[in-house]
């Protein structure tokens, strides 16, 4: 592929996937905006405690979708249609099974989970209602992620973007309808969010699969746990990246509740939801580069693998710098969007927090893109190490330590500190992997 064609293809996949992922982040952002205005700081605090579960639900969907679609793209490049279809079938079965388990869990344990997440007194009922509704729609969230990933890897990034974006826009409309004219409270916000992936699934089905445009199909295959684990392993970075957002929310909420009370949790909710939009941009970059990397890997095109990786790193660096610039220049305006009551205490906590927290986005892009490269080239172990360190192993002890030493300032600083340390790990693992990855023809790739 010459430079012009690569640039054109790269720009198409990047723009469509970034737009689609930003749209999907609107699921939660719309809830935050309307709940903050309609239900005030109590509703915002309850929502911020509850939305941590979406990190787990969406993470499962992305793991099965991206893992299966990565394997699908590699097998298609090698013209192995049987294994390509098996990847789709295994992802679908695992997604349905996981969704059913989550529905049962939500029906039985939503209120105990709300207490565990830190909800108490007047915000406990609102938090439990949102959790129960979110789990009821878990199968649709998971299946939507799976279908979108396969549609994207089947050469239709525009339709994949449409499935994500239209679902998000419908959520905004339904949030207004359910919270204002119908006055359904926090249940209405959760119902609007749960409806959005159903619309996304319909777009994937009627726009690509049912008309016969797809090259993948569900086919009879043995239910091998080993194969299912191998498929999921290729998407483990996506799971950890999403799940870690939920882990970070839980840990930070508990620490902030201790340090600054309910208003502090609401302030962190503002910062966390703005950060969610930026993280969705980096997720879009990693998901947009994955089909190109996997196809080039399957075709043994080492040059394209290197060039796509470098372009993705450059794009992530520029956008990370832009995100930090916005936080430094317009902190008051950004926080005020979600502070409908004009709460001075909330504003005073969130503004400096936004500036400190967003320093981490100077490093996040490199970590996301490197983890995506490792997963796309069948190096699940290395991809897991990068994502697990930044999302779980590093952030939890760092947040607790920094909070004990520096209070709220330490809580904000723990995120950029861990991302910086992860950057060094990413550089080491990325260089080692790129220098020695074995491709189908036995050739090693070097940067």
User: Model confidence at 2, in pLDDT bands (50, 70, 90)?
Assistant: low
Q: Is residue 6 part of a domain?
A: no
Task: Give the list of residues 6+ apart from residue 428 with CB closer than 8 angstroms, or none.
Answer: none
Q: Is pLDDT above 90 for 99?
A: yes
Report pLDDT for 442: 40
* Structure confidence at residue 100 as a pLDDT band (50, 70, 90): very high
Answer whether residue 422 is part of any domain: yes
Q: Indicate whether 112 belongs to any domain.
A: yes
Whether 443 has a pLDDT exceeding 60, the answer reads no
pLDDT in tens, 120-176: 878 899 999 999 999 999 999 999 999 999 998 888 888 988 888 888 888 889 989
Q: Could you tell me the residue range of the domain that residue 246 belongs to?
A: 11-436
Q: Where are the alpha helices (DSSP H) in 78-122?
A: 81-116
Residue 189 has pLDDT above 70, yes or no: yes
Distances from the Cα of 169 to the Cα of 175, 188, 195, 219, angstroms? 10, 16, 11, 34
Q: Is residue 31 part of a domain?
A: yes
The answer to the question of residue 447 being in a domain is: no
Mean per-residue pLDDT for 87-97? 92
φ, ψ of residue 374 to 5 degrees: the values are -65, -40
Mean pLDDT score of the chain, rounded to an integer?
86
Question: Structure tokens of 13?
Answer: 């996949």
Quick check: is 329 in a domain? yes
Residue-wise pLDDT for 301-338, tens only, equals 878 888 899 999 999 999 999 999 999 999 999 998 87
CB 22 within 8 A of CB 280: yes
The count of domains in the chain is: 1
Residue 2 lies in a domain: no
Q: What is the pLDDT of residue 433?
A: 63
What sign has the CA pseudo-torsion 178, 200, 376, 307?
negative
Q: Classify residue 446: in a domain, yes or no.
A: no
C-alpha of 180 from chain center: 29
Residue 112: which pLDDT band, with cuts at 50, 70 and 90?
very high
Does residue 434 carry a pLDDT above 80?
no
Q: pTM of the prediction?
A: 0.76
């Amino acid at each position: 592929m010459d430079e012009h064609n690569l640039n054109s293809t790269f720009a198409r996949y990047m723009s469509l996937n970034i737009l689609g992922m930003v749209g999907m982040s609107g699921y939660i952002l719309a809830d935050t905006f309307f709940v903050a205005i309609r239900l005030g700081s109590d509703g915002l605090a309850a929502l911020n405690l509850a939305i941590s579960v979406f990190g787990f639900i969406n993470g499962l969907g992305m793991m099965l979708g991206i893992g299966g679609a990565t394997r699908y793209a590699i097998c298609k490049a090698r013209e192995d249609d049987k294994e390509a279809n098996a990847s789709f079938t295994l992802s679908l079965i695992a997604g349905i099974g996981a969704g059913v388990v989550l529905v049962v869990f939500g029906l039985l344990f939503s209120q105990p989970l709300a207490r565990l997440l830190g909800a108490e007194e007047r915000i406990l009922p609102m938090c439990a209602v949102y959790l129960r509704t979110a789990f009821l729609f878990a199968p649709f969230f998971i299946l939507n992620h799976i279908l979108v990933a396969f549609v994207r890897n089947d050469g239709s990034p525009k339709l994949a973007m449409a499935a994500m974006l239209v679902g998000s826009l419908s959520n905004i409309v339904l949030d207004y309808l359910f919270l204002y004219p119908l006055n359904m409270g926090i249940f209405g916000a959760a119902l609007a969010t749960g409806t959005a992936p159903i619309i996304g699934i319909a777009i994937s089905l009627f726009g690509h699969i049912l008309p016969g445009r797809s090259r993948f199909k569900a086919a009879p295959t043995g239910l091998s746990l080993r194969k299912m684990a191998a498929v999921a392993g290729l998407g483990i970075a996506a799971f950890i990246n999403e799940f870690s957002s939920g882990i970070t929310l839980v840990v930070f909420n508990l620490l902030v509740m201790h340090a600054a009370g309910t208003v502090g949790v609401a302030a962190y909710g503002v910062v966390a939801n703005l950060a969610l939009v930026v993280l969705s941009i980096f997720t879009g970059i990693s998901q947009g580069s994955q089909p190109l990397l996997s196809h080039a890997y399957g075709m043994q095109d080492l040059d394209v693998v290197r060039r796509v990786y470098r372009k993705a790193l450059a794009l992530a660096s520029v956008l990370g710098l832009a995100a930090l610039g916005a936080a430094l220049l317009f902190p008051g305006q950004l926080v005020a969007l979600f502070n409908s009551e004009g709460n001075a205490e909330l504003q005073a906590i969130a503004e400096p927090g936004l500036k400190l927290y967003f320093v981490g986005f100077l490093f996040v892009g490199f970590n996301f893109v490197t983890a995506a490269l490792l997963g796309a080239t069948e190096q699940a172990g290395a991809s897991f190490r990068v994502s697990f360190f930044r999302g779980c192993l590093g952030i939890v002890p760092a947040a607790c330590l920094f909070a004990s030493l520096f209070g709220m300032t330490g809580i904000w600083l723990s995120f950029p500190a861990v991302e910086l340390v992860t950057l060094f790990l990413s550089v080491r693992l990325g260089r080692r992997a790129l220098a020695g990855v074995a491709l189908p023809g036995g050739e090693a790739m070097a940067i």
